[in-house]
Amino acid sequence: MRILIVDDSHAMRTMLRVFTGHLGHDTAECPDGLAALEHLRELNDYDIALIDWDMPRLNGIELIRAIRNFPEFDGMKTLMVTAQVSIEKVAEALHAGADDYLMKPVDQKMLAEKLRLLGITSPVS
């Protein structure tokens, strides 16, 4: 499966890339929502985007809303991966079109379970 990691933290992108690599997935990375949207418009072959909330230029909520406005991305899942932990933020992300929500700090087991629930990783991973 192909995963796009969108986070302004280089360390977080690296950690998520390592975790998803251990699960057998191919990844690409973008440092903010605008770069991700531009990348997706050029290369639309991702199964899921792991999206941080707080980023410059285009934040995670704005990116998810933009993704949901383009029919060519209808089959792509979005997982909000963020330190925003209030129930209101979770509801906002889901209302914007996120398929699920994962709170930081993230470990590989938690990420694997979310990906499994979203149909991205098989149960044996």
Chain segment 43-84, per-residue pLDDT in tens = 888 999 999 999 999 999 999 999 999 999 999 999 999 998
pLDDT above 90 covers what percent of the chain?
92
State the architecture of 2-114 in CATH terms: 3-Layer(aba) Sandwich (3.40)
Six-digit token string for 105: 């700090």
Determine the average pLDDT of the residues in 17-21. Answer: 96
Chain segment 105-119, per-residue pLDDT in tens = 999 999 999 999 999
CA–CA dist 48, 77 (Å, integer) = 4
The domain limits of the chain are: 2-114
Q: Which of 102, 115, 83 is nearest to 8 (CA)?
A: 83
